[in-house]
Structures are given as C-alpha cells and as structure tokens.
Amino acid sequence: MINRIITLLKKDILLEFRQKHTFYGVLLYIASTIFVLYLSIESPDANVWNGLFWTIQLFICVNAVAKSFLQESKGRMLYFYSIASPVEFIVAKMIYNLLLMIVMSLLSLFLFTIFLGNPLQNSLWFIGIVVLGGASISIVFTLMSAIAAKAQQNAALIAILGFPVILPQLLLLMRLSKAAFAEVFRAGAVMHLSFLIMGLDILVIAMAVILFPYLWKD
Amino acid sequence: MLKKNWWKILSLLLLIYTVIAGYLNKVPDLPIIHQSIRNLYFHVCMWFAMMILFIISFVYSIKYLRGFNLRKDIFASNFAAVGTFFGILGYSTGAIWANYTWITDQSQSLGSVLKEPKLIGAAISLLIYGAYFVLRGSFTDMDKRARISAVYNIFAFALLFPSIWIIPRLVGSLHPGAPGSDSGNPALNAQNDLDLGMRLVFYPAVIGWTLLGVWIATLKIRLQLFKDKTLINA
C-alpha cells in the first residue's frame, strides 16, 4: 500500500516537472498578486499584513490545488481505478498537494517580506505556522477539488465549496500567527491553538479517507 | 389520524403557549437586556431547531451512502433546506437583539459588534449550506448529484460542528456561552441566565419550534416525493 502511494506521488511530481507551465503559472500568480498588493498599499501594519497574507494563501491554494483532479482525464482515472485503491489515491494526492502548498506558502512568505516589509517579531515561529497553515489549507482543498471535479463548472465551485469549510481553521491560524507578531498569549495558549488546528487536520484527513471512495466511482 | 399526527397538534399548542406565555409571563429585570430577554424564546429556539434539522440531514446523507436510495437524498436535502431557513431566522433575530443590547456606544456600528466568534460560526454554517445547494444545482444527473452532495454534506457537517460548538467556547465573546462573558459556560447557565418561570416557557418553546421545523420539512419532502414519483419507483 505504501509502495503504491509512493509510486502515485512520484508520478505526480514527475508530471509537475514535465509540465512546468502549470507550476510556473502558479508562481507567476503568486508574484503578480503580491506585486499588485505592493502597488496598492505601502508597508501595511502587522494586522493588515497578517490578514492579507492568509487571504492570499487561500487564493494560491485554490489555484495550485485545483488542477490536481481537473488535470486527470476520464480515461486516466479509469486506469488509476484499475491499479490503485481510492484510499491510496487520495492519500497520494493529499501528500503531493501538501508538499506543493508548503513550497508555495514559503515562497509567498518570502515575497511578502520583500515587497510588503517584515513586521514579524519572531520569524521562525511564523515559518512554522505557515507550514502548518499551508498543510491544513491544502488538505481541505484536495477533497474540495475532488468534489468539484465531479461537477461541470468546477474551478469556481472549489472556492464556493472550500471557503466556508476552511474558515474555522483560517481564523485559528490568523489568531495563532499573532504570536509571531509579539502579541502576548496566555501560557500554553499557543500550543493549545496549534493542537486544535492539527486536530482539525486529522479530522479532515479521516473524513477524506472515509468519503473519497464514494466520490471515486462513476 | 390522531395517532399519526399528534406531534403536529402538540407543536401548534406549544407554539401558541410560547407566544402567549412568552409575552405575558414575568421575567427577571436584568440590566441592559430588560424585556428583550423574551427574545430567548425565539432566537435560541431557532438555533436549536436548525442544529437538530442539520443533524437529521447529516444522518440521512450517511444513510444515502449506505444504500444509494434516492428517497434518503430527498430527505437529506429538504431537512438541510429547512435548517438553513431556521438559521437565517436565528441570525436575524440575533442581529436585532444585538442591535439593542450589545451596542453600548452610539458610534459603534452593528457590523463591528457582529464580529463575534459565535456569530462567525453561525455565518459559516449558513455559507456551508449555501454551498451545498450550489453544488446540488450544478448536477443534472440525479444519482451523481445525490452521491456527491451527500459526501459534501457529511464533510461540511464534520467541520461545522467544531466551528459552532468548540471554537466559540475557547475565545472571549459578548455572546453568552463564552469564557469571557460573565454568564458562564455552557450558554444556558441555570443560576444566572434562566429563572424557573423562563425555563417553563423556554423548554416547551424549543420542542415546539423544532417540531414545526420537522413538520415543514416533511411537507416539502412529501411534495418532492410526489414530483419524483416516477423516478424513484423506477
């Protein structure tokens, strides 16, 4: 089972290297969005910076993860269907999207600090939060992308389906990131929040593994 | 007839009782809230009814995935629809209530006051079910629509639960039921919030409104089943 997950993961990564245009497309999307922000607001304060950062993460994720199911043609899905189980397939997709999103999140963090200044007091903390946040967002949107791929007008549907579902986690992440802006938290509150987000992630993964087999058959 | 429909009559009687007793009984005169405390019989009951209807919808979605019976899908979607309707009513009764009790300073706008964890949770639930109906609308194939929307319903409900019941309890809020408010936790603290007279109206009101919600849903379901008669029996 693990072997097959790794094979599927390798296939996705290989595909990414072969079709570089999609990867660069998302990179360009990140760069141009942040550049637009840079032109429209100059050195935002920490609160605005935080809000903008997470909102941009959300849109990047919609763009980066959306293609994970849309790019698979019907014939290829049938092929996967014959060689792998749905659980292996969704787990491979989630791991792949998670890696992709973490890379994208870190890149956008880098661009944010270049263009919009760096209000962070504790950068290491924030990098950790960004990795956690990127992981949470990408897992949720993987399943949303799988659902939306089944419907006809899918790209817009991902945002509609995903935004309300991701909101609780996003609010927790924004709250947690304030720890990196030198806001004083109650003792243990930071750990508490992180565990809550991780708990939600585990819930999402469990739901995805349980529910994906029903999406998969046609 | 009476054997089958006793709960509809009960619902009607309880709601008549709620309205009459709710407006006439004696309520504790608390600062700021004063007589608006009577909104408890309407506002809080809307959320109770919504949550119960959503749970029923969630259960029917699971049942659908177990047997792929289209009747179950009709049940799930209609319970979700009526639940959303009650959610909108709950949100609006809450907004009116907040307008008179939470705005202490004239310069405060309602928008700034409504940014509360509990209210965000409520808004999320309405957005989720809005998305659920958009998703349903985007399919033409009935079986596919039923299957995919059942998956979304189950997934969304699993994430809705913490956003309504867990997260608001962890952060400070003006709304009763948060650690920051002085009313204690959980929301309905018997010592502080409700005296005996109010409880005598409140609990029947919850049952009455919930039964009304179920009643509306069953009517919608019967209509839908009648419309799709040929499809379901085929």
pLDDT of B177 over the 60 cut = no
By CA distance, what is A208's nearest residue in B? Answer: B155
pLDDT of residue A140: 92
**How much of chain B, in percent, has pLDDT values that exceed 90?**
38
Contact yes or no for B128 and A165 at CB 8 A: yes
Please name the member of A164, A203, A215 whose beta carbon is closest to the beta carbon of B131: A164
pLDDT, averaged across chain B: 83
Q: Which two tokens stand for residue B91?
A: 């949100």
Chains A and B: how many Cβ contacts under 8 Å? 78
**B136 → chain A, closest CA residue:** A151
* pLDDT on residue B194: 65
Least confident of A64-73, B44-53, B198-207: A64-73
Average of pLDDT values for B84-95? 91
**Which residues, including other chains, have CB under 8 Å from residue B162's CB and lie 6 or more apart?**
A168, A200, A203
- What's the confidence (pLDDT) of residue B25? 82
Q: Which residues contact B217 (CB under 8 A, 6 or more apart)?
A: B53, B56, B78, B79, B81, B82
State yes or no: ipTM above 0.90: no
Q: What percent of chain A has pLDDT over 70?
A: 96
pLDDT classification of B173: cutoffs 50, 70, 90: low
Write the pLDDT tens digit of every residue in A180-214: 887 777 777 788 888 989 999 999 999 999 999 88
To the nearest whole angstrom, how far is the Cα of A14 from the nearest Cα of chain B?
A: 30
B192 pLDDT band, cuts 50/70/90, is low
Task: Tell me the per-residue pLDDT of A103-113, one tens digit each, with 9 for 90 and over.
Answer: 999 999 999 99
Residues of chain B positioned with their CB less than 8 A from the CB of A203:
158-159, 162
Global model pTM greater than 0.90: no
What whole-number percentage of chain B has pLDDT above 70? 82
The shares of helix, strand and coil residues in chain A, as percent rounded to the nearest 5, are 85, 0, 15
